[in-house]
Amino acid sequence: MVADNRIWKWYQRHNNAVDSVLDIACGAVPGAGLVIGPMKLMMAHWRDKDEIVMEEKHEEVEKVLQEIKPVLGEIVEEIEELQSFTCANSQEKRIAVIEQEKAIIEEIQKITPQLSQSIVCSVSRLQKKKTLGLHYELGELIGKGGQAEVRRGRNLVAGRAIALKLFPKELTEDIVAIENLKQEYGLLVEKLVHENIVQYRDLSLDEESSRYFVVMDLIEGENLRKKIMERRKQGFPLEEVVEILMPVARALDFAHEREIVHRDLKPENVMIRKSDGKVYLTDFGLASEIRTTLSRKPGLTVDISGTLPYMAPEQYLGRKVDGKTDNWALGVMIYEMVEGIHPFQGTTLEHYKMLVCDLEPEAPDKMTPSSWHILQGLLKKDRKARPEKAQEVLQDLLVKKTIAQVNKPAVLEVSKPVQANKPVKIETKPVFQGPQGWNPGEWQECWKGEYIDFTLDTWTRKTWQEQSNLSKAYRKWYAEQKVMSEEKTMSKGGIAIEMCLVPPGKFNMGSPDTEAGRYDNEKKHRVLISRGYYMAKYEVTRGQWQAVMGNNPSSFPKAGKNAPVEQVSWDDCQAFLGKVSMELPTEAQWEYACRSGVSYMTYQGDVSDPGSMAWYSSNSGSCTHDVGCKDVNAWGMYDMLGNVYEWCRDWKADYAVEDVQDPVGVHVGSHRVCRGGSWSHSARHCRAANRDNDSPGDRYNYLGFRLCAK
């Protein structure tokens, strides 16, 4: 809403007298400062801009001004006729002048009840908690753009903090646009469930304000723009840029595979969570429909394609857009972050259009020629010439040797004694650069440039002992290549947590139809875990829970502090996770870590008695035991099977019908997944593929959890 210039011009002409009367009449009114203070600030802002776009509080202040103007009209003019008042150079002196005028004070006393009533009603309206729809509480403004405003909120039923995006009232008037918006929302909710994409939770209409709004997950943190501004022209090392933007690239590739385009990728739409640095991409999809709708409204000027500095040539030219349009914007962001300056320094729409469509950006000073050559692929003017996969570009920016370079014949130049000036090329045998113990041919077949494919026949026909040994070697090699620790201790929330590296890989999740004891919900399918992560060596213990949470909920009085904590619900775990800034693993991460490269029923093969690696109903004595007492898996984790079931991040749901990458499960449900079997369950439950679930609020003496981190 745009301010009413007439009322503000009146206030500008008489603001000294108006402020003085209000200070005298309403100084003792509780909460009056909530109205009078913003009124003075808005006056100063209006002087500077001549026009202001108002928020809800500003609208309330303007309403008060409109109510009190008729009441103050005559007395304000009377006060301004006092020469001593016009000569006073401070508010304190002006009030002192008025207080000496008995007749004016009497008039102020007469109108005080009316002024106070307006102020009190306004304060009441401002302090009232605004709700949207049936159960969403509206909070403070987080951000505002041309198409919507985003506010902090709260789901009053669930008691959870949320983000609320409110769309302009003009959108409600367009029936076609609303129908398109609903269809697009449904598409996004169905297809765009990814761990690095901020999830939509509801789309609704607030009847009181006639505004549509969406409910989103609230990411407590800062956007990438703020991080860029902190560095200013210093820029970021390329390695850090890739680390920050790789989750964005994964999210984009995921969306593009489902034929969904962001269209407005920019640093403002990349959120970095404060608790753990996790990166999220926000503002997917819906903004496009809203921009298009508002562009049809007379008198409204909005950018209908995106944000100028990050728009691709095809957006300026009004041509078809696809996933490669988003990849252009990603390339612009990479350049900006590395170089510390935007590649296109435009000032107007036409200026930007000329720079983006006709001119090439200058080669960056802080990037090697080979890296710049790769980045230029994203900035091709011809959309079709740009790379399709954003992740591959980021990976290429850091890769120093391709697999072909690693395995190609080495060339040695030597000189003949009699012809010293003519070098002779002598080809030597290739030097194998893969993990120790691997057959070079099998390594070249299984290694896919960034991960191992554990689903190939070359791998699955090996014995579990061979798989275990080669998987250990792979993890060691991967850690060396990435300069990572195979195992490390993380200090979080006042406790030490031993963590094990889980390298990336593709594996068969679920079980084959022939596996003994399998359940119908274990459909075998291929899953790619595209990025390495860390998994706790042990289940969270009673001692760790006590140190962080200050209580011991566990059931077994004789169990020591090193026994796994149990009797903790999924909801209880969230409080613990918040204090240590870590996560539960996804179901896919859990099974992949449990298998540790082994494709059999357990990480010690197809066995009917898992007693060497698990505490279960036949050997537990009906209680939990200290963690770490059974055989470890290939990647250093204990008790992945048995002792206690372990909560996972996912809601219970059937597996996908196709191969997937980094699955995070469905976005809503009634039960959360738990994995691994326990002391009270049979051997059938102590299989890598076994799935179970419980309500998020349930607490059982066989149910605990394990930590996961990037």
Residue 591 has pLDDT above 70, yes or no: yes
Higher pLDDT, 645 or 22: 645
- Which region among 38-52, 348-362, 436-450, 590-604 has the lowest average model confidence (pLDDT)? 38-52
Higher pLDDT, 8 or 525: 525
So what's the pLDDT on residue 56?
55
- Which region among 285-289, 324-328, 332-336 has the lowest average model confidence (pLDDT)? 285-289
Residue 156 has pLDDT above 70, yes or no: yes
> Average pLDDT for residues 250-259, to the nearest whole number?
91
So what's the pLDDT on residue 660?
93
> Average pLDDT for residues 599-621, to the nearest whole number?
94
- Give 406-446 pLDDT, tens digit per residue: 344 444 334 444 444 444 444 444 556 789 899 998 999 99
So what's the pLDDT on residue 697?
93
Residue 467 has pLDDT above 50, yes or no: yes
HEC assignment per residue over 513-524: CCCCCCCCCCEC
Q: Which of 489, 647, 628 is nearest to 576 (CA)?
A: 647
So what's the pLDDT on residue 286?
62
- Give 641-697 pLDDT, tens digit per residue: 999 999 999 999 999 878 899 999 888 889 999 999 999 999 999 999 999 999 999
Query: What's the rounded Cα separation, in Å, for the pair 394 and 375?
Result: 9
Give me the chain's average pLDDT, please: 85
Residue 504 has pLDDT above 80, yes or no: yes
Q: Is 598 exposed, middle or buried (0-12, 13-18, 19+ CB in 10 A)?
A: buried
Q: How confident is the model at residue 157 (pLDDT cuts 50, 70, 90)?
A: confident
Q: What is the dihedral of CA 51, 52, 53, 55, to 10 degrees?
A: -150
So what's the pLDDT on residue 306?
65
CATH number of 441-709: 3.90.1580.10
User: Burial letters for 469-506: b for 16+ Cβ neighbours within 10 Å, e otherwise?
Assistant: bbbbbbbbbbbeeeeeebeeebebbebebbbbbbbbbb
Percent of the chain with pLDDT over 90: 53
So what's the pLDDT on residue 464?
95
Higher pLDDT, 114 or 380: 380
Q: What is the dihedral of CA 177, 260, 275, 141, to 10 degrees?
A: -20
So what's the pLDDT on residue 413?
39
Residue 166 has pLDDT above 50, yes or no: yes
So what's the pLDDT on residue 400?
41
**Integer angstrom CA distances of residue 398 from 99, 185, 513, 662:** 75, 36, 42, 22
So what's the pLDDT on residue 1?
47
Residue 291 has pLDDT above 80, yes or no: no
So what's the pLDDT on residue 506?
97
Q: How confident is the model at residue 46 (pLDDT cuts 50, 70, 90)?
A: low
Q: Is 650 exposed, middle or buried (0-12, 13-18, 19+ CB in 10 A)?
A: buried
Answer yes or no: are the C-beta atoms of 587 and 665 closer than 8 Å.
yes
Query: What's the rounded Cα separation, in Å, for the pair 136 and 207?
Result: 13
Q: Where are the domains of the chain?
A: 5-127, 441-709
So what's the pLDDT on residue 410?
40
Q: Which of 153, 184, 206 is nearest to 283 (CA)?
A: 184
| H or E stretch at 445 | helix 440-446
So what's the pLDDT on residue 192?
82
> Average pLDDT for residues 610-627, to the nearest whole number?
94
